[in-house]
Structure 1
Amino acid sequence: MEGMILLLLAVVLAAASILWARQDPRRLRIGFAAVAAVLLALYGLLVLAANAPVRIGPASLGAWTVLGAVGVSALGSLVLAGYLLFNGVQMLRREGRSPAHLLSLLAGLAILGYLVVAVASVAFDSPQVAAWVLLAFPLVVTAGLLFTGVLVTSLVHARLARRHLGDARAIVVLGAGLIAGRVPPLLAGRLREGARVADLVRASHPSAPLVVSGGHGADEPTAEGHAMRAWYTEHPELAADPVLVEDRSHTTEENLRLSAALLAEHGVTGPLVAVTSDYHALRAATLLRRLGLPGDAVGARTAAYYRPSAFLREVVALLRDHRVVTAIVLALAAAPIPLALGVLLVDALG
C-alpha cells in the first residue's frame, strides 16, 4: 500500500511539473517537482520490491534492489567526478586560472574526496570518520538535488523557450566581457544568434528593434554595447538593423531593465526575447519574470568544454537569487552536523 501511495504522489508531481512547464517554463519549481517525482517513483518501486515474496539466490528482491541502487549511485558519482576533473583540467588549459573557471575542477575534487573518505572509513574500520560521512550525507545529497533540479529546469526551458518567438516585439542581446575592446567568440555567438532570432521575430513584426546591451567595464576601453554595434556594422550580411545601443548596464538584471526602458522610450512595448549563451538563458528568463517583463530568453550554443563550469556558476547565481529558500533548505540538510558537534561538546565538558 505504501509503495502505491508513493507512486501516486510521483504521478501528481510529474503532472504538476508538466502543467507548470506549459504555463511558464521560467519557473525553477518545474525541475524540482520533476526530480521529486522521479525519487518518489524509485522509492515506491523499492518499497514494492522489498515487500515482494521473491528471492534471488541468498537474498530477497528488495535487498538486491537496494544493493543495485547503492552501486549505481556510487558508480554514477565516480563517473561524474571524473568528468568534472577532466573538464576542469581543460578549462585551466584553455581559459586560465580565474576562480570562475575552477568550478568544475573544485566540484569534481569535492565529490571524489567525499567518496574516498567514505570508502576509507569502511576499509580502515573507523566508526568516527564513518559517522561524519553519514552526518554530511544529507548536505551532499541536497546539494546534488539542487543542482539536478536547476539542470532539469534549464533543459525544459531550452526546449520550450522558442515556442512564442513570433509574439516578441523586440530582441535584446546581452553583453559579455570584451577582449582588448573587441568582441570575443562567446559574445560573437550571442550576436549571431541575435540576428537569427531577429529574422524570426521580424517575419511577424518587421519593425522590431534589436538592442545590444552592455556597459563599460573597469578594464574595457569601450562599452560592450558600442563594441557589439560595431561588430554588426562589420557583418552587414546579418542584416541586424535597426539596432539600439544600451551602454549603462553592468549586470544581467540591469541589461534587461535598462533595455526595457530604452525600448519604452522608442515606443516599443510588449514581449521581448533576450539572447544570451545557452548556459545563461534560464537565469535571464527567471530575471525577466522577477522584473515583471513579458518575454523569454534563448541561448546561443557554447563550446562543450566551457559549459560545465559556466553552468555551475549559473546554478550558484540562481540559488543566490532565491537565497532565502536556498538557505532554509541547506540549513535543514546541515542540521545534523551542528547537533553532533553540540553533543561532542557536552560530552567533553561533562
Structure 2
Amino acid sequence: MFFLLGLTLITLLIFITSYLKDSRKLINGFLFNIFLFSAMITTIDIAFETQNRFLILLVIAFVIIILLVLTFGIYALILALLINAKIVLKRESRTRANSLTFFLAIGLILYLIFSTIISKKIFPNEINMFLGGSSVIVFYYLFDIFNFLMISFLYQFNRPKLNQDFIIVLGSGLIGDRVPPLLASRINKAIEFYNKQKLITNPPKIIFSGGQGPDEKISEALAMQRYAVKNGIPFEDTILEDKSINTLQNMIFSKQIINNLISQNSASIFVTNNFHLFRAGIYAKKAGLKSQGIGSKTALYFLPNAMIREYIAFVVMYKKRHAIIVSSLVIINLILSIIYHFFVISYL
C-alpha cells in the first residue's frame, strides 16, 4: 500500500512539475492520465486492505461502469453521435465541417462490421492475423485521443493575472460583416477581462486579430473592433491585426504588433473558444509568445463536433509522429503475419 501511495505521489509531482514549467505541452495529458491510473490502483488496494465499505462500493461501482462501457459503450457512442449530428445540422449550416460527428458514427459502424467479418475467420489465418492487428492502431488512437482530451480539459483552468498589457482576440468566420455568436463569445470574454483589470490597474490594449475571408465583406478584426466599441470598449484601447488567415498567423502578427509598441517583455493573453484553447496555446508557443489563453463558452451541442475537428487538426500538426507510429505498427504486424505463415503453417 505504501509503495503504491508513494508511486501515486511521484506521478502527481512529475505532472505538476511539467505543467507548471509549460502548460502548453501535449505530454501533460499523458502524465496526468498516468497519475489517475496510479491513483485508481492505489484506491483499489487501500479499499481491500482496509475493508473500507465506502471505498469498496466505489471500486465496485467503477468496475461496473467500466464493464458497461466495454460492452455497450461503442453502441451508445454511435447513437449519441448520430443524435448530435442531427442537432448540429439543424441549428448550423450543412457543411462537411459541421458533419464530423455523423462521419465518425459511420466510421464506427464500419469498424464494427469489419470486426465482425474478422471474427468469422473467413480468410486464411495469416490474413485474419494481419487484419486483426488493425485493432492495435485503433487502441493507439484511442490512447492518443484520451491524452488529448485530458490536456484540453486541464488547460481550461488557466487564470491569468490582471496585469496584462495586451489581450489578443482570435478571429473566426463572419456572416457578411456581422459577428456571429461563436465569435461574439470570444469578444465578450475579452471585454469581461478588460473590465476586471480596469478596476484595479491600467486596462490592457485589445488586439483584434483576423483577416478578411473570400465570403466576408470586411476583415474579422474590423468587425470585432466595431462590436467591442459598441459594447463599451474605448476605441483608443483597440488595435487591428487584419492580415492573418490562420491561428499561427494570428499569433505571429500580433506578436509583431506587441514588439513594435512596447517590448518583448510585455504581458499578454489570448482569447478564443474553450475547445480551441489548447491548440491556440501551442501556436502561441510556436510564435514565441508567452501568452496563456482564456476560453469563452461554446454551446454544448456544438462541442463534440468542435473537439473532433480539433483532434483532426492535432493529428495534422503532428502528422510525422503519427505516420511513423502507424507505419511501424503496420510493419510489425506484417512481419508477425509472415512469421506465422512460414513457421507455424509450414510446420503443421
TM-score range (shorter-chain normalised) is 0.7 to 0.9
- Is 1:232 the counterpart of 2:222? The answer is no
After TM superposition, give the deviation of residue 228 of structure 1 in Å: 1.1
After TM superposition, give the deviation of residue 147 of structure 1 in Å: 1.1
Distance 1:180 1:12, change over 3 A: same
Structure 2 counterpart of 1:81, one-letter code: I
Counterpart position of 1:183:
179
Match of residue 202, structure 2, among 206, 209, 222 = 206
Match of residue 166, structure 2, among 164, 170, 188 = 170
- Is 1:154 the counterpart of 2:149? The answer is no
Q: Deviations over 1:106-132 (max 9, x none)?
A: 22222333234435654x565768645
> For 2:289 and 2:198, how far apart are their aligned partners in 1?
20
- Is 1:250 the counterpart of 2:245? The answer is yes
After TM superposition, give the deviation of residue 96 of structure 1 in Å: 3.4
> For 1:132 and 1:341, how far apart are their aligned partners in 2?
6
Stretch deviating more after TM superposition (324-333 or 212-221): 324-333
Q: Deviations over 1:115-157 (max 9, x none)?
A: 34435654x5657686456311111111111111111001111
Counterpart position of 1:220:
216
Match of residue 91, structure 1, among 85, 88, 91 = 88
Stretch deviating more after TM superposition (293-302 or 111-120): 111-120
Counterpart position of 1:109:
106
Stretch deviating more after TM superposition (247-256 or 113-122): 113-122
TM-score between the two structures when normalised by the length of structure 2:
0.80
Distance 1:68 1:288, change over 3 A: closer
TM-score between the two structures when normalised by the length of structure 1:
0.79
SS at match of 1:245: strand
Distance 1:105 1:231, change over 3 A: same
> For 2:287 and 2:281, how far apart are their aligned partners in 1?
10
After TM superposition, give the deviation of residue 230 of structure 1 in Å: 1.6
> For 2:109 and 2:243, how far apart are their aligned partners in 1?
43
After TM superposition, give the deviation of residue 74 of structure 1 in Å: 3.4
Distance 1:75 1:146, change over 3 A: same
Counterpart position of 1:20:
18
> For 1:103 and 1:8, how far apart are their aligned partners in 2?
43
> For 1:93 and 1:308, how far apart are their aligned partners in 2?
15
Q: Deviations over 1:30-55 (max 9, x none)?
A: 10122244456768999x9xxxxxxx
> For 1:66 and 1:172, how far apart are their aligned partners in 2?
45
SS at match of 1:79: helix
Distance 1:67 1:116, change over 3 A: farther
Structure 2 counterpart of 1:326, one-letter code: H
Q: Deviations over 1:303-324 (max 9, x none)?
A: 1111111111112222332333
Q: Which runs of 5+ in 2 are unaligned?
A: 46-61
Distance 1:12 1:229, change over 3 A: same
Distance 1:237 1:67, change over 3 A: closer
Stretch deviating more after TM superposition (34-43 or 324-333): 34-43
Q: Which runs of 5+ in 1 are unaligned?
A: 49-64
Alignment of 1:1-350 (within 5 A): 12-39=10-37, 72-119=69-116, 121-122=118-119, 124=120, 126=122, 131=129, 134-159=132-157, 161-162=158-159, 164-233=160-229, 235-237=230-232, 242-267=237-262, 269-339=265-335
SS at match of 1:25: coil
Give the count of matched residue pairs.
326
Distance 1:180 1:88, change over 3 A: same
Matched-pair contact (CA < 8 Å) for 1:212–1:246: yes
Please give the root-mean-square deviation of Cα atoms over the aligned residues, in Å: 3.4
After TM superposition, give the deviation of residue 336 of structure 1 in Å: 4.4
Distance 1:114 1:232, change over 3 A: same
